Amino acid sequence: MSAPITTGSLNLLKFLKTYSSTVKSSLRKYSALMASIMESKVEVNGAKLQYYRRGEGEHPVLLIPGALGSGKTDLTPQLEKLDGNLFTLVAMDPRGYGKSIPPNRVFPLDFFQKDADDAAALMTVLEHLNFIKLIRSETGKSWWAHR
C-alpha cells in the first residue's frame, strides 16, 4: 500500500522536476561549449605540440599552464569563461606534458627559454604575431627568459 500524497510530497516532486530540467539544460550548454574547443597538434621546433583553441575574437591570447600542468588540466576554466567573441584563446601543452608527449620532458639549464621559444613559435605557426600572454605559476619565468 502506498503512502498518501501530501502537500510536502507534491512540493518535493515539483522541486525535483525543476532541478532535473535545470541540470539537463546546464549539461547541454556545457557540452556545446566543450564542442567549441578545438584540439590539434602542430610541429614546432622539432616537437609536435598539442593546443586547444576557442573563439574567433580579434585579440589572440596564449594561455600557458603552470609547472607540471597541461592546457586541458590547468586552463579549461579560462577556455570556458573568457569571451570567445572578443578573444581567440590558445592553450598549449608544453613539450613533455599532456598530449605533447613524446618527447619526454627534460630539464636542461635553459628549459624556461626553450618553453618560451616553443610558445612563441606555436603562435607564429597559428599566425598570431601579436598576442596577450596569460601565464600560470612558475612558467612566468619562461617569458622573462624570452626577451
Question: Each residue of 37-76: pLDDT tens digit?
Answer: 999 999 999 999 999 999 999 999 999 988 778 898 889 9
- Whole-model pTM: value is 0.72
- Which residue, chain included where needed, has cell 503512502? 3
- Is residue 130 packed enough to be buried (19+ CB in 10 Å), middle (13-18) or exposed (0-12)? exposed
Residue type, 99: K
Q: Phi-psi region for residue 79, left (φ > 0), alpha (ψ -120 to 50) or beta?
A: alpha
> pLDDT class for 2, splitting at 50, 70, 90?
low
pLDDT at 29 > cutoff 70 = no
